A and B are shown apart, each in its own frame.
Chain A
Amino acid sequence: MSCEEVWREVSNYVDGDVDAALRASMDEHFRTCVRCSSVLAGTRNVVQLYGEERMLELPAGFSRRLEKRLAKNAAVKGRGWSSWSTWLVPVAALALIAGALKLTNTLTFKHPAKSILAEPGHNIPPDMLVVVSAGSKVFHVAGCPFIHDKATERTITAKQAMQDGYVPCSRCLRQYLKTGLTGQADEDDAKAEAEEGQEGVVSTAEH
């Protein structure tokens, strides 16, 4: 067997992808050929070193950025994946338009909302991940620009947020608000935003 023939098969040899006869011939060649032994050893070193997990380095902050983007996406996705919400939202909208307000009254919270202007959410998937922060009464989708005091933000489920008296952000979670469903109440929106801004100032001072 020539050196050239050995080089052609050395990669398959390292992978164990040669038949018994070829392996025997190559073994015999390696025993007598220093050059091909060197080729074999170097090839093994390449495979071994590059195969180490440590060779796969991540940029600084990669994991944090990925987790954040996934959390944000999961929150948005949660709205679409809950099979009940996909059809219940338009049904609820029709019910509202028809004046059937009793339907929505069944979805209010046990705990009082933190603002008199705040509006409870409707049909929010309970396991949807949302962000709350200290001093604000509103919960948001991750990445919403209206999150107050970002340093204290934490992620919880929508169910927990509502149980704790938080209400949906009128911007990023508008589709879950009665006003969002009916397409009205921009005026209330502005009031709520103004109040939220004031509370943000107060809370900053308190902390």
Chain B
Amino acid sequence: MKARLVAVALLAAGLGAGALGPKAAFAAAAPAAEALQVPRIAYRERKLDNGLTVLSVESHASPTVSIQVWFHVGGADDPEGKSGFAHLFEHMMFKGSKYMKSEQFDRLTEDVGGENNAFTSEDVTGYQAVVPSNHLETLLWAEAERLANLRVDEANFRSERAVVQEEYRQRILASPYGRFFEEMRTKPYLRHPYRRGVIGSIENLDAAAVADVVAFHAAYYRPDNATLIVAGDFDPRQLDAWVDKYFAPIPRPAAPLPRRETEEAAWTADRAITVKAPNVPLPAVATVWLAPPVTHADAPALQVAAALLAAGESSRLNQALVYRQQIATQAAFSTDLRAGPGLLIASAIAAGGRKPAAVRAALLAEVKRLAERPASRQELDKVKTLLLTQAFSSRQTPLGLAAAIGEAAVLGRNPNRVNTDLDDLRRVSAADVQRVMRRYVSGAHSVSLDYVQEGTPQ
């Protein structure tokens, strides 16, 4: 919803890119992952004089179209002392502009049979609408309008800030593992702005004011910091003409884009953190390592490593910790890759009566085994097929297709990653997996988190 933070789910995230091949005949023997055809996504790219990047891809399977605008700004750009601001700002983008009333965006989407949503991550803020395709021009107008002419009043600001504070309570305070998920993704950082997270805190949100909204819009919401993505049922010539009409007049500001600090030096010692909460049904553990940026050449091998450990019921962690040892109720390994230094997170929720230390030992034993012994060809092929099918499945809709292109272009800095990421994934060998596990995991320092009930003796 206007407000979805990028996934903090415990289960390992799938890969964000990929497409599988043309129709094949029924066959009793299923082909291996290597044999799956991956047709190119034939996107078009335009760059306007004001710096706006426009990416589009046609798909006429349904009379719908997705219009998305992704900005290179996220929680890591929050003003000091105002953590959570980029996300609060995302909510304010629905609160009116010079020529649009508050919530008019809902009138132009929901009320005509479409939908709208937005998300804020550490690096990126994305606005995602889907409408019946005859409403494309209207939506292009509306996106250009709130990019050019955002207007926010005090009453709307206060009520929406209260909504975001309820979001904080729902995600962090009321959810039994909310604090754990939040702290595992922030506390390990020593210096990088990622240490502040995306959702912020009640106090930091209280410190924000309407003037901050105006300043933030001026600093980051500009055509040369935005990517417009259109996917679905449209005519390319009409699209170009409407983009020229509504987006081209928006000027590129003279001031340079603010740039944030982006360094996090390699950790020089292991650390341990205990997170306590008033409402912990079963203790949980996590061990966290630093990951390279999402654009790094080692990213595909790390994604395959994570899938070997944690994708599906047959994954190593599930089989060892949940099925055989029954020491955990769930176990995960996620590659939380970002524009800057990301995280590799091994985590597990204890089974009833099991101690965190024992759960962690079992978790780390499986992680270490992957670094020490090569995975079989059969196991590698299994996870590649799973990742390819998941990626393909997520691209069936205009929303999913545009999101895949947005992720490649904005987070990956190259839209063609939407085509090349899956090729890279299929080329990953067992030796590549071992190499990256040794480099980033077994040969690196880590941060351990224990999540326990308040009042539990240590």
Are chains A and B native binding partners rather than an unrelated pairing?
A: no
